[in-house]
Amino acid sequence: MEVLPQNIARLYPFKSHFFTLNEQKSPRMHYIDEGRGEAVVMLHGNPTWSFYYRNLVLHLKSDYRCLVSDHIGCGLSDKPQSYNYCLQQHIDNTLQWLKGINIGHFHLIVHDWGGAIGMGVATRWPASVRSITVLNSAAFLSQRMPLRIALCRTKIGSWAIRHWNVFAKAATFMAVQTPLSPDVKAGYLYPYDSPQHRIAIDRFVQDIPMEPSHPSYEVLKNIQEHLWLLEGKPCLLAWGMRDFCFTPEFLSVWQQYFPKAESYQFPDAGHYVLEDAKEEILPLIRQFIARHSEI
């Protein structure tokens, strides 16, 4: 069992659990399982890990069972060097994990790549989803890509991600409006301490489907075409309006798919909205889930 450095463990005081996937050399998926009650499943994006949801878990665990996984290659999960790091694989992994730990109904919270992965799960299991909370993400095709991310998709950019950790390091200041503390920065970067451990960060960047020939294009298109299955679900949209990547235009698309959604905009928050706006957003999410809980 990996022992986290004390400064990170103080921020992330959770017991580690591992689920062995029946896929490609059986990698282990790390997850945390905190609290009791209705299940709340939280899915992170790139280049974060379950650490992103630490404050929300601490806020909810007194009344809910908080389940937060690290995608393969991320966080404290295994990081195989020969692996099919793609959207469909991450969806399949998440489905297998939730089946394996016998999760029935659950509230879903997604951020960044967690949007596509989570909606891939939800459109397969719509009857299991009690509510959906969307934080700065997408689950539909888009032709918009910031130049700084496009550059990371080049050979030089890929090399810099793997060898200099530019993507994760840059996110610690580009994804927020309020500077992160040194310990929080260290927490985000901790799992990505070598070129081998940054493989999923690089592959997530490469997996953004911008053209029909891309292997994940049809997967994302299929998710988009089936979002209607979730239209009647209670939905909360909470958006950092100063996100350079998932701009307010993405929020507008979500509002088209979920016209009855509760929508909150945080004008001074960036992509890591749970960092910049945590004081306002944590109680909003708690109240939203409570309104749509069984009891």
Q: What is the pLDDT of residues 76-85, one digit of tens each?
A: 999 999 999 9
What pLDDT does residue 166 have? 97
Which helix (H) or strand (E) element contains residue 284?
helix 278-291
pLDDT of 95 above 60: yes
Average pLDDT of the segment spanning 26-30 = 96
pLDDT, position 248 = 97
* CB 117 within 8 Å of CB 223: no
Segment 217-248, tens digit of pLDDT? 999 999 999 999 999 999 999 999 999 999 99
What tokens appear for 65 in the block? 């069972």
Distance in angstroms (rounded) separating the CA atoms of residues 201 and 96:
22
The mean-pLDDT minimum among 24-33, 106-115, 123-132, 175-184 falls in 24-33
What are the tens digits of pLDDT across the range 115-145?
A: 999 999 999 999 999 999 999 999 999 998 8
pLDDT of residue 23: 76
Q: Where are the domains of the chain?
A: 6-291
Kindly list the distances between the CA atom of residue 282 and the CA atoms of 10, 136, 175, in Å, as whole numbers in the listed order. 19, 15, 18
Does residue 295 register a pLDDT over 60? no
- Exposed/middle/buried for residue 195 (C-beta within 10 Å: 0-12, 13-18, 19+): middle
- Minimum mean pLDDT among 52-56, 108-112, 146-150, 246-250: which range? 146-150
CATH superfamily, with its number, for domain 6-291:
Alpha/Beta hydrolase fold, catalytic domain (3.40.50.1820)
Distances (CA, A) of 69 to 41, 86, 118, 142: 8, 16, 12, 26
With beta carbons less than 8 A apart as the criterion, state whether 232 and 74 touch.
Answer: no
88 neighbors 216 (Cβ within 8 angstroms): yes
C-alpha–C-alpha distance, residues 42 and 69, integer Å: 7
Write out pLDDT tens, residues 60-93: 999 999 999 999 999 999 999 999 999 999 999 9
- pLDDT score, position 234: 98
- Separation CA 142–CA 133 (nearest Å): 21
Residue 194: HSE in the Cβ half-sphere, 13 Å Cα cutoff: 5
Cα-Cα-Cα-Cα torsion 120, 126, 128, 130, nearest 10 degrees, comes to: 100
Query: To 5 degrees, how large is the angle CA 228–CA 149–CA 242?
Result: 70
CB atoms within 10 A of CB 292: 16
Q: Report the greatest alpha carbon distance in the chain.
A: 53
Q: In terms of DSSP bridges, do strands 28-34 and 17-20 run parallel, antiparallel, or are they unpaired? A: antiparallel
Helix (H) or strand (E) holding 240: strand 235-240
Question: CA nearest 171: which of 159, 155, 154, 187?
Answer: 187
Query: Residue 70: what pLDDT?
Result: 98
pTM assigned to the model: 0.97
DSSP-derived letter for residue 161 is H
Q: What percent of the chain lies above the pLDDT cut of 90?
A: 94
